[in-house]
Chains A and B, each alone.
Chain A
Amino acid sequence: MSPEPAIDDLALHGELSANLVGFCRFLRQQGCGIGPGEERDALRALAAIDLKDPQAFHLALRTTLAKTPEEQTLFDDLFDHYWQIWARASELNKPQPNPERERAKTAKATQPRNTAFTSVRDWLKQGEPTEEEREAAGYSPIEVETQRDFKDFGAAELREMGRLLQTIARVLATRFSRRYRPAKKPGRLDLRRTLRANLRRGGELLDLSYRRRTRQKPKLVLLCDVSKSMDLYSRFLIQFIYAFQHAYRRIETFVFSTSLHHIAPMLKSNNIDEALDELAAHVPDWSGGTRIGTSLATFLDEHAALVDHQTVLLIVSDGWDTGDIELLADSMHALQRRSRCLIWLNPLLGSADYKPATRGMAAALPHIDLFAPVHNLQSLKDLVRYLMALRGATAVRRPPRRIVSEMGASHRDAAPPSEPTNVGPTYPTTANWLQRFGVQS
Chain B
Amino acid sequence: MSATAAVQEMLAGQDYIADRHIAMAIHLAQTLKRPLLVEGPAGVGKTEIAKVMAGALDTELIRLQCYEGLDATTALYEWNYQRQLLHIRLDEKSARSTAEREADIFSEDFLLKRPLLQAITRAKPPVLLIDELDRADEEFESFLLEVLSDWQITIPEIGTIRAKEPPYVILTSNRTRELSDAVRRRCFYLWIDYPEFDKEVEIVRNKVDGIDAQLAEEICRFMAEIRLQNLEKIPGVAETLDWAKVLVALHQHHLDPEVVADTLGIVFKDQHDIAQVKESLAEFLERLGVRTKMAPTATHES
- A residues with a Cβ closer than 8 A to B are 33, 35, 37-38, 41, 44-45, 48-50, 53, 55-56, 59-60, 62-64, 66-69, 72, 177-179, 191-192, 195, 199-200, 202-203, 305, 308-309, 338
Interface 0/1 of B202-229, CB less than 8 Å to A: 0000000000000000000000000000
Complex Cα–Cα for A69 and B2 (A): 26
| Set A33, A38, A60, A195: member contacting B24, Cβ < 8 A | A60
Complex Cα–Cα for A72 and B34 (A): 19
The size of the chain B interface, using a CB distance under 8 A, is: 40
Partner-contacting stretch, out of B113-121, B181-189, B287-295: B181-189
Contacts of A179 in B (CB 8 A): 69, 71, 139
Complex Cα–Cα for A44 and B34 (A): 11
**Do B178 and A67 have beta carbons less than 8 Å apart?**
no
**Do A192 and B89 have beta carbons less than 8 Å apart?**
no
Contacts of B188 in A (CB 8 A): 41, 63-64
**Do A60 and B98 have beta carbons less than 8 Å apart?**
no
Complex Cα–Cα for A72 and B177 (A): 18
* Residue B259 is within 8 A (CB to CB) of chain A in the complex: no
| Set A37, A49, A72: member contacting B185, Cβ < 8 A | A37
Contacts of B85 in A (CB 8 A): 195, 203
What residue of chain A has the Cβ atom nearest to residue B187's Cβ? Answer: A67
* Residue B111 is within 8 A (CB to CB) of chain A in the complex: no
Interface 0/1 of B59-84, CB less than 8 Å to A: 00000000011010000000101001
* Residue B285 is within 8 A (CB to CB) of chain A in the complex: no
Partner-contacting stretch, out of B25-33, B161-169, B236-244: B25-33
**Do A66 and B189 have beta carbons less than 8 Å apart?**
yes
Complex Cα–Cα for A203 and B28 (A): 52
What residue of chain A has the Cβ atom nearest to residue B138's Cβ? Answer: A308
What residue of chain B has the Cβ atom nearest to residue A326's Cβ? Answer: B230
**Do B98 and A199 have beta carbons less than 8 Å apart?**
yes
**Do B28 and A199 have beta carbons less than 8 Å apart?**
no
- Supplied contacts A41-B34, A56-B3, A195-B85, 13 more A-B pairs, CB within 8 Å: A41-B32, A48-B31, A49-B4, A55-B20, A59-B4, A59-B21, A59-B24, A68-B184, A178-B68, A178-B69, A195-B79, A195-B84, A308-B176
Return A15 CB to nearest CB of chain B, in Å: 22
21 contacts between A and B (CB under 8 A): A35-B185, A45-B28, A48-B32, A49-B2, A49-B3, A49-B28, A50-B2, A56-B4, A59-B20, A63-B21, A64-B188, A64-B189, A66-B189, A67-B187, A67-B189, A195-B85, A203-B88, A308-B176, A308-B177, A309-B176, A338-B176
**Do B32 and A45 have beta carbons less than 8 Å apart?**
yes
Complex Cα–Cα for A309 and B32 (A): 35
A to B contact number (C-beta, < 8 Å) = 95
Chain A residues touching B, majority SS: helix
The interface centre, meaning the residue of B24, B105, B187 with most chain A CB atoms within 10 A of its CB, is B24
Complex Cα–Cα for A436 and B178 (A): 36
Complex Cα–Cα for A8 and B139 (A): 46
Contacts of B258 in A (CB 8 A): none
Contacts of B102 in A (CB 8 A): 199
**Do B81 and A63 have beta carbons less than 8 Å apart?**
no
What residue of chain A has the Cβ atom nearest to residue B89's Cβ? Answer: A203
Contacts of B25 in A (CB 8 A): 59, 63
Contacts of B69 in A (CB 8 A): 177-179
Contacts of A56 in B (CB 8 A): 2-4, 24
**Do A48 and B71 have beta carbons less than 8 Å apart?**
no
In chain B, residues 170-196, which have Cβ atoms closer than 8 Å to a Cβ of chain A?
A: 176-178, 181, 184-185, 187-191
Interface 0/1 of B10-30, CB less than 8 Å to A: 000000000011001101100
What residue of chain B has the Cβ atom nearest to residue A59's Cβ? Answer: B24
Contacts of B178 in A (CB 8 A): 305
Complex Cα–Cα for A38 and B191 (A): 17
* Residue B131 is within 8 A (CB to CB) of chain A in the complex: no
In chain B, residues 34-55, which have Cβ atoms closer than 8 Å to a Cβ of chain A?
A: 34, 37, 39
* Residue B278 is within 8 A (CB to CB) of chain A in the complex: no
Complex Cα–Cα for A41 and B37 (A): 14
Return B192 CB to nearest CB of chain A, in Å: 10
Complex Cα–Cα for A305 and B20 (A): 31
* Residue B101 is within 8 A (CB to CB) of chain A in the complex: yes
Return A28 CB to nearest CB of chain B, in Å: 14
Complex Cα–Cα for A89 and B4 (A): 31
Complex Cα–Cα for A160 and B75 (A): 47
Q: Contacts A63-B190, A203-B85, A308-B177: A48 and B28 contacting too (C-beta < 8 A)?
A: yes
| Set A44, A49, A62, A177: member contacting B21, Cβ < 8 A | A62
Return B134 CB to nearest CB of chain A, in Å: 9
**Do B189 and A68 have beta carbons less than 8 Å apart?**
yes
Complex Cα–Cα for A81 and B230 (A): 33
| Set B20, B37, B98, B189: member contacting A200, Cβ < 8 A | B98
Complex Cα–Cα for A44 and B25 (A): 13
In chain B, residues 107-157, which have Cβ atoms closer than 8 Å to a Cβ of chain A?
A: 139
Contacts of A200 in B (CB 8 A): 98
**Do B21 and A203 have beta carbons less than 8 Å apart?**
no
* Residue B92 is within 8 A (CB to CB) of chain A in the complex: yes
Complex Cα–Cα for A199 and B87 (A): 12
Contacts of B176 in A (CB 8 A): 308-309, 338
Contacts of A178 in B (CB 8 A): 68-69, 71
Complex Cα–Cα for A192 and B71 (A): 15
Return A211 CB to nearest CB of chain B, in Å: 11
Return B133 CB to nearest CB of chain A, in Å: 14
Contacts of A44 in B (CB 8 A): 32
Q: Contacts A44-B32, A45-B28, A49-B4: A67 and B20 contacting too (C-beta < 8 A)?
A: no
Return B214 CB to nearest CB of chain A, in Å: 32
Contacts of B28 in A (CB 8 A): 45, 48-49, 60, 63-64
